[in-house]
Amino acid sequence: MSDTVLIFDTTLRDGEQSPGATMNQKEKVRLARQLESLGVDIIEAGFPAASEGDFEAVQAIAAAVTKPQVAGLCRALKNDIDRAYEAVKEAKYPRIHTFIATSEIHMKHKLGKTPDQVVEMAKAAVSHAVSLTKNVEFSAEDASRSDWDFLVRIFTEVIDCGATTINVPDTVGYIQPHEYSELIQYLKKNISNIDKATISVHCHNDLGLAVANSLAAIHAGARQAEVTLTGIGERAGNAALEELIMALDTRRDTYNLKNNIKINEIFPSCRLLSHIIGQPIPPYKAIVGGNAFAHESGIHQDGMLKNRQTYEIMTPESIGRKGTDLVIGKHSGRHALKSKVEELGFKWLTEENLNTVFEAVKELADRKAKIYDEDVEALILEKVYRGEKADKKFELGYIAVHSGNTPMPPNAAVVMKVDGVEKKHTNFGAGPVDAAFKVIAEMTGRTPTLLQYAVNAITGGTDAQGEVTVRVEENGRTAVGRGSHDDIIVASANAYINALNSLVNKEEER
């Protein structure tokens, strides 16, 4: 048995399905490149048959990375498999990942198929996939609630058809660690041709056991783990990559297994995901949360001062966390900024991108006493990624608001470009943000419903940049917008305009 655990990252497929985590193609490619830097073995890039946008994103990721395998998910249907292969075929290492449900409840109520019919569908799907590429993974959806002997039967058949990886997913987060361990051992013992395939596990967190179950399965002999950054995913999420990897690393005495993850890229990867989807990392999140390495108790502080290992089983530096004080400001040079940007994980920025960020740092330094790593990350996201002209039908020029506990209601005055034409308008609202959004909606001719408005301080201090996330809906389509600025009203306007641009892009794609 191999002593290396393969890491199959599904942030871009299963993770992106979680509410509020939708990414556009450019954002997916950026994250895929970071996953490559992180060292994941397989990137599940999407579900190509789901939509034209998903197909094009998978295709773009296949072309953007060279080290990891790139997988496309597909149902056990010929058309789905063909679509998946078409999307990943230009990857250096393409993989087709096909699945069908195997639990009684799924076969009866969802598929309307008998077990014999499901086996035949699985065999036909894998045989067709193998005719396109020899790298084929088969998943038995809802395996944790399936009959164990039926799993032995279907896995034996698909391995005979050429499947090189068999996935045993805990699709609804139901199984317990000791049960999962016993299931993996049972499959290893009873699948006669198991030596021809790698056992994979894909765990959901409905009962908070996704990582524990994944580790139990690995300890029992599974050698591929399907995970996501920070555990994002359907419902309560998936097994978190950073938790699984640091458990394997910190407890090497227990597992004695290797993997190819560069642990110093863990925190930059999770931070990038947080910026892209506009969802802050919870402070109590294991490994990467803001409080993960914070110590307030006097007893703990005393122990830490004497020996860090008294209360820390890993160091923040090991996962890529750095001190936040940054000697970059109005007097810093481009070389210093370039070094810091690369240290933060943004290695693919062009010289033009760096110049844009450099000017933004200088401008921010005139208004802010201290600049932190998080400030630089936010400027990169705001000025480079969200500022790309190709995505922008609407552009904010200037905004001024008036508000307070005076008889005059809050109002906003906005100057912006709509299709390249400068417009000016003003209006009143219930508050400064409401007034700003009303003005922008009127100027753009849109009538979206605001579903969510969230503000997060990027760093500490009263002069911190604010990061705003908005979610809007119009004509049955939803879009998420994000913006950051040290003026929260400007950040709000940028986020709202970003969401409107996303709506326009979705309409054009459709």
Say yes or no to pLDDT of 99 above 80.
Answer: yes
Clarify whether residues 172 and 254 are in a common domain: yes
Residue 344: name the closest of 243, 267, 287 by CA.
267
Clarify whether residues 94 and 178 are in a common domain: yes
Q: Which two tokens stand for residue 130?
A: 């193998």
Clarify whether residues 265 and 368 are in a common domain: no
Task: State phi, psi for 71 to the nearest 5 degrees.
Answer: -110, 145
Secondary structure of residue 199 in the 3-state scheme: strand
Secondary structure of residue 473 in the 3-state scheme: strand
Q: Which two tokens stand for residue 357?
A: 């960020």
Model confidence over 270-301: pLDDT tens digits? Answer: 989 988 887 888 888 999 987 887 765 666 65
Say yes or no to pLDDT of 328 above 50.
Answer: yes
Residue that finishes a domain, picked among 385, 403, 426: 385
Clarify whether residues 134 and 197 are in a common domain: yes
Buried b (16+ CB within 10 A) or exposed e, 184-194: beebeeebeeb
Task: Name 454's Cβ contacts closer than 8 Å, sequence gap at least 6.
Answer: 278, 468, 469, 470
Clarify whether residues 317 and 400 are in a common domain: no
**pLDDT, average across residues 5-20:** 92
Clarify whether residues 140 and 264 are in a common domain: yes
In a domain, 282, yes or no: no
In a domain, 185, yes or no: yes
pLDDT (0 to 100) of residue 325: 46
In a domain, 296, yes or no: yes
Secondary structure of residue 227 in the 3-state scheme: strand
Cα torsion through 280, 281, 284, 290, rounded to 10: -90
**pLDDT-based confidence at residue 324 (cuts at 50, 70, 90):** very low
Cα angle: 49, vertex 53, 55; to 5 degrees: 40
CATH code assigned at 406: 3.30.160.270
pLDDT (0 to 100) of residue 37: 95
pLDDT (0 to 100) of residue 278: 78
CB 96 within 8 A of CB 129: yes
Q: Which residue has the higher pLDDT, 35 or 314?
A: 35
**pLDDT-based confidence at residue 337 (cuts at 50, 70, 90):** confident
First to last CA, the chain: 48
pLDDT (0 to 100) of residue 382: 76
CB 61 within 8 A of CB 29: yes
CB 265 within 8 A of CB 282: no
Q: How many domains does the chain have?
A: 4
Pairing state of beta strands 94-101 and 69-75?
parallel
CA distance 269 to 344: 9
Task: Kindly report the number of other CB atoms within 10 A of residue 59's CB atom.
Answer: 22
pLDDT (0 to 100) of residue 231: 97
CATH code assigned at 171: 3.20.20.70
Pairing state of beta strands 466-474 and 477-485?
antiparallel
Clarify whether residues 39 and 178 are in a common domain: yes
Residue that finishes a domain, picked among 370, 385, 400: 385
Strand blocks (E) in 432-510: 449-457, 466-474, 477-485
Partners of 225 in the β-ladder: 7, 201
Residue that finishes a domain, picked among 385, 405, 422: 385
**pLDDT, average across residues 58-71:** 98
Say yes or no to pLDDT of 390 above 50.
Answer: no
Q: What is the pTM of this model?
A: 0.80
Cα angle: 111, vertex 114, 119; to 5 degrees: 90
Task: Kindly report the number of other CB atoms within 10 A of residue 393's CB atom.
Answer: 16
Clarify whether residues 398 and 381 are in a common domain: no
**pLDDT, average across residues 158-170:** 98
In a domain, 327, yes or no: no
Model confidence over 414-455: pLDDT tens digits? Answer: 999 999 999 999 999 999 999 999 999 999 999 999 998 989
pLDDT (0 to 100) of residue 168: 98
Buried b (16+ CB within 10 A) or exposed e, 2-13: eeebbbbbbbbb
Clarify whether residues 82 and 128 are in a common domain: yes
Q: Which residue has the higher pLDDT, 73 or 462?
A: 73
Partners of 94 in the β-ladder: 70
- With residue 60 as reference, give the H or E element that holds it: helix 52-64
Clarify whether residues 295 and 375 are in a common domain: no
pLDDT (0 to 100) of residue 369: 66
Listed range (145-149, 184-188, 346-350) with the worst mean pLDDT: 346-350
Listed range (122-136, 192-206, 236-250, 392-406) with the worst mean pLDDT: 392-406
In a domain, 326, yes or no: no
pLDDT (0 to 100) of residue 330: 64
In a domain, 284, yes or no: no
CB 88 within 8 A of CB 132: no
pLDDT (0 to 100) of residue 333: 74
The dihedral of CA 96, 100, 102, 105: what is its sign? positive
Clarify whether residues 295 and 379 are in a common domain: no
Task: Name 18's Cβ contacts closer than 8 Å, sequence gap at least 6.
Answer: 232, 233, 234, 235, 237
Say yes or no to pLDDT of 508 above 80.
Answer: no
In a domain, 1, yes or no: no
Task: Name 80's Cβ contacts closer than 8 Å, sequence gap at least 6.
Answer: 49, 74, 98
Q: For residue 18, give Cα distances in angstroms to 162, 172, 236, 238.
A: 32, 14, 9, 10
In a domain, 206, yes or no: yes
pLDDT (0 to 100) of residue 323: 52
Say yes or no to pLDDT of 408 above 60.
Answer: yes
Clarify whether residues 231 and 297 are in a common domain: no
**pLDDT, average across residues 502-508:** 81
- With residue 447 as reference, give the H or E element that holds it: none
What is the pLDDT of the chain when averaged over all its residues?
Answer: 90
Residue 498: name the closest of 374, 414, 391, 426 by CA.
391
CA distance 7 to 200: 10
Listed range (56-60, 83-87, 92-96, 356-360) with the worst mean pLDDT: 356-360
Q: Residue 312 belongs to what domain range?
A: 291-321
